[in-house]
Structure 1
């Protein structure tokens, strides 16, 4: 039988703090400030395939 290494418990307090402050981070974090353009929409039987231009990466991005 294979032995498994038990993972450390996640820090629930950190997760709770991040969730509680998510409405504040929402103003500046993530997709909200991203500008993008839809280039093409391909309709598939179960989903839509979107081709999106998000521009060039910022300088210094590796």
Structure 2
């Protein structure tokens, strides 16, 4: 059974935990954002190429048996 917490103590604990947060710098955020866009572009290109290859193979396979 949970005991009822003191609201003042709760606020103090929250402030204590918030003080432990280390926020990233503007440079870190910018570099991380750029890396996410680069990885998304690479992933999209990879799946486009794989999809094109599969479509090409299936098209030729189906025209062979038609």
With the length of structure 2 as denominator, give the TM-score of the two structures: 0.31
Answer with 1 or 2: which has the greater Rg.
2
**TM-score between the two structures when normalised by the length of structure 1:** 0.32
If asked which structure has higher relative contact order (CA below 8 Å, sep 6+), I would say 1
Structure whose residues are more often strand by fraction: 1
